[in-house]
Amino acid sequence: MKRIAVAGTGYVGLVAGVCFAEVGHDVTCVDVDEAKVKLMESGVSPIYEEGLEELMKKNNATGRLRYTTDYKEAYRQADAIFIGVGTPEQPDGSANLSYIATVCRQIAESVEKDCLVVVKSTVPIGTNDKVEQFIHDFLLRDVKVEVASNPEFLAQGTAVRDTLHAARIIIGTESKEAEALLQEIYKPFNLPIVSVKRRSAEMIKYACNDFLALKISYMNDIANLCELVGADIEDVARGMSYDERIGSRFLNAGIGFGGSCFPKDTKALKYLANQHGYKLKTVEACVEVNTKQKTRLFEKAKKRMISFDGLKVAVLGLTFKAGTDDLREAPSIDNIQLLLEKGADIYAFDPVGVKRAKQHFPEGSIEKGRITYVKTTREALQDAAICFIFTEWGEIKVLKPEDYKKLMRIPLVYDGRNLYDLREMKEAGIEYYSIGR
């Protein structure tokens, strides 16, 4: 058992801290927000993530998991300090490392014994070298501090499972001592560990995320061509999935990727390559395809309608995918903005994303249009002239074709998740548009 401190209690930090406690380590999670700390102490998770609250309550009760704003006490005697703070995208596509810099300064001024600082946050290649130097520059005591890279590979909505049952653990170190300590920390997980140098670990994170993003954008590009030539992207994807070299995952066409990782990481790697005088043409194409894909359904609807002004528009799903309350880079945001500019009267449904959506679009009149948040899909659909589906929530998937026909004033549906069978929608009298079919 090791004494571990975790800086940051977002998706990366909180999930890591809870899972470290679950396998037996003594964990203190650090956050600057006192109200958030009190919330977590009561066993309530500040993020929507399946299975997280149950593990928080369990490990809170054992005393293995604590939360604090007192970083000095948390870092003082820690064997390892994991950094899981955000690295948000800046306007030029680069990563904002100011939160990491703040934590590093706090660590340098607080540690009283030799320790390992482990960066879990996604950072540009070479950042860990700078982190180590930065900490050494500000150390107040004669202690040994090494820095390691340990990128996370969790997906929002399945983060706990992805951590406890990961395909592999990536650790990047520059010494045998640092490698041995991380091996010991992760031994209770009983998972494969890939040990590499720090810069390779940093690159593995970007290479993995950007490859998956490329796969999604490629399928969306093929889907758009399918529409033009009369092919069905679902048939194409099924045929492709039997090829072991391709696999079956990330072949679903739709309205583009969102969330906290893929959009940010593709832009960050593109920026990094440009800084070194190199063009990652595949990644640049991925970013371009995804940007256009997000509003593809709106552009289709705009050609179909004379005007959106005053029309009741049902929006089903706000989060970037099901299983999370995260709206970062969600296609719904881009489309709602365009609909409001055109004067639409939007009725939006999402089972968990409304609170965050209101931060983008407060309820009521905005610009020319207005938005109302409703508690059921049927409220959204009642007398609607048009419906957009942006998220594959179960509450939306259970709707039958006849529900749209019965509830809507005009049964006109634009489905960004390809939830329905084309023939069934046609037989039900629905004018139905999807992606690549």
Which residues are tagged catalytic?
261
Spatial separation of the C-alpha atoms in residues 31 and 263, rounded to whole Å: 26
How far is residue 213's CA from residue 140's CA, in Å, rounded to a whole number? 43
- Do residues 216 and 230 touch, judged by C-beta distance below 8 A? no
Give Cα 379 distance to the centre of its chain.
28
Instruction: For the beta carbon of residue 301, count every other beta carbon within 10 angstroms.
Output: 22
φ, ψ dihedrals at 417, nearest 5°? -120, 5
With beta carbons less than 8 A apart as the criterion, state whether 10 and 31 touch: no
DSSP label at residue 366: E
Q: Which amino acid is at 401?
A: P
In the chain, what is the straight-line distance between the N-terminal and C-terminal CA atoms, in Å?
54
3-state SS, residue 340: helix
- List the structure tokens of 407: 């509830």
For residue 3, the surrounding DSSP H or E stretch is: strand 3-7
Q: Which two tokens stand for residue 289?
A: 């395809």
